[in-house]
Structures are given as C-alpha cells and as structure tokens.
C-alpha cells in the first residue's frame, strides 16, 4: 500500500499552487501525493491529519513574525496569514499523532514556530556575521554550498553522509530550536540547515530544496525522500 502524503501549497488570489518537483519526488519515492488546502476548520484539520500517512511542508514565501512575538522587519517579504495558520495547526496535529513530517525551506521555519521555536526574519541583517550566498543565482537543481551533518543524526542515517552540497533559496532561517528538537546540519557560516525531533519517529526540517535536486539524481536528496516515505509506510 502506497502511503498518502499531504503536500502543503501556496495560496495566492484564492488559487492554490505547488511546484511539481515536490509531486515528482514523492511519486518517485513510492508515495501518493495529495495537495492540501489552506482554509479548513480545526475539526477538519484534525480529520485530515488522521487520514494522512505523512506531511510534506513545501517552500514558499515569508512567515508572519507576530507568530513568534516579533514586529515585522524592514526586509520581511510577502506573507500569507491563511497558510501560516493552517500549517501550524496541521503540524501540531501531526506531531501529536507522531506521523512523519518532512519540512523544506519555508516548511522547516514554520515547523520550528509550530513546535515552539523561532526564526530570523532576515539572516543578512540579523545574524551579525559574514554569510555565504543563501539566495543562489544558479539553476534550482544546482548544489551551491556545503552542509555539515551531525554524526548519527536522522539526516546522517538517511543520507550516509556527513558533508554534501545543497542548493539555497532563502533569506530567513531557523534561530531558536524548539524543545526536544536539535540541529543536525549547519552551513560553514553557522546558518542552521537542518534540524530534527528527538521525540518523534521521523520529523526532519531542511533549509534547502531537495525536491529540485532529485530530478538530477542527487543521491542525498533522493535518500531524504526515500527515508521519509519509508517512515510513512511504518
């Protein structure tokens, strides 16, 4: 039986959209992707979480900083309040049910907030140290910088690698780890590139876009999706 994976989507002018790279990556890993809406009442979100075998939190725009107690930074980009609210609610339901979550770029940031962490609204103006180029000017499938992976972490077990290259398209990043979560990969400049839960079977957030790299047969990217779907089958 192929697991059913909820795929979060952008909401713009009452239209849902999601990159087909997410869909193809799930299909190739042996899953059935289902794009989920952003406007459901809480009881329907709970029902949806019960029906899904896993949740893929996709990339997208910025996140409302008032959700973690901050005013908007001058470099904050466009936000979607409906998406923020929906994703926080379904993440919290999935965590209670201990169902697998793979969170990508924006997804890993909203995962952090939903679990009690926070984020930088703009790494270039808020981190206070020289940074790599995290908004690459290269094709989306191109791996532009290295990440260093914590030994024996979920990410390490999935990829079998302690260092590999990733693509990069963000100006926000996770800052404070939620309780019972830990960093499992960093860039050489100290930006958190991946984190995972210590209390759940499979909850992994990555700051890059592995879905764009699976189409170029990138081994770590394929391995991440395969590990995710394996966890969803269990």
Sketch out the chain's domains with CATH numbers. 4-233 (3.40.50.880)
pLDDT at 183: 98
pLDDT at 223: 98
pLDDT at 197: 98
pLDDT at 40: 85
pTM given for the model:
0.96
pLDDT at 158: 97
Angstrom distance (rounded) from CA 55 to CA 232? 9
The answer to whether 81 and 30 are in contact (CB under 8 A) is: no
Report, as ranges of residue numbers, the positions in the chain whose pLDDT lies below 70: none
CA angle, corner 105, sides to 100 and 111, nearest 5? 45
pLDDT at 198: 96
The phi and psi torsions of 81 (rounded to 5 degrees) equal -60, -35
pLDDT at 14: 80
9-50 residue pLDDT tens: 998 888 899 999 999 999 999 999 999 999 889 899 999 999
- Contacts for 29 with CB less than 8 Å, ≥ 6 apart: 222, 225, 226, 228, 229
């Amino acid at each position: 039986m192929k697991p059913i994976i909820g795929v979060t989507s952008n909401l713009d002018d009452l239209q849902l959209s999601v990159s087909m790279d997410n869909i193809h990556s799930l299909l190739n890993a042996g899953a059935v992707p289902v794009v989920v809406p952003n406007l459901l009442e809480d009881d329907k979100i709970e029902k949806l979480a019960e029906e899904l075998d896993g949740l893929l939190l996709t990339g997208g725009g910025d996140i409302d900083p008032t959700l973690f107690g901050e005013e908007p930074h001058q470099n904050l980009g466009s936000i979607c309040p409906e998406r923020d609210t929906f994703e926080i609610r379904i993440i919290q339901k999935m965590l209670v049910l201990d169902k697998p979550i793979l969170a990508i770029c924006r997804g890993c940031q909203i995962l952090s907030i939903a679990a009690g962490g926070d984020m930088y609204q703009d790494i270039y103006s808020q981190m206070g140290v020289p940074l790599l180029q995290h908004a690459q000017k290269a094709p989306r499938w191109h791996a532009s910088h290295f990440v260093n992976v914590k030994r024996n972490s979920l990410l390490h077990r999935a990829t079998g690698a302690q260092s590999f290259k990733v693509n990069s398209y963000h100006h926000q990043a996770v800052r404070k780890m939620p309780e019972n979560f830990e960093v499992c990969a960093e860039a050489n400049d100290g930006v958190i590139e991946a984190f995972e839960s210590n209390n759940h079977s499979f909850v992994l957030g990555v700051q890059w876009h592995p879905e764009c790299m699976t189409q170029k047969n990138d081994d770590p990217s394929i391995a991440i999706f395969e590990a995710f779907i394996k966890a969803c089958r269990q």
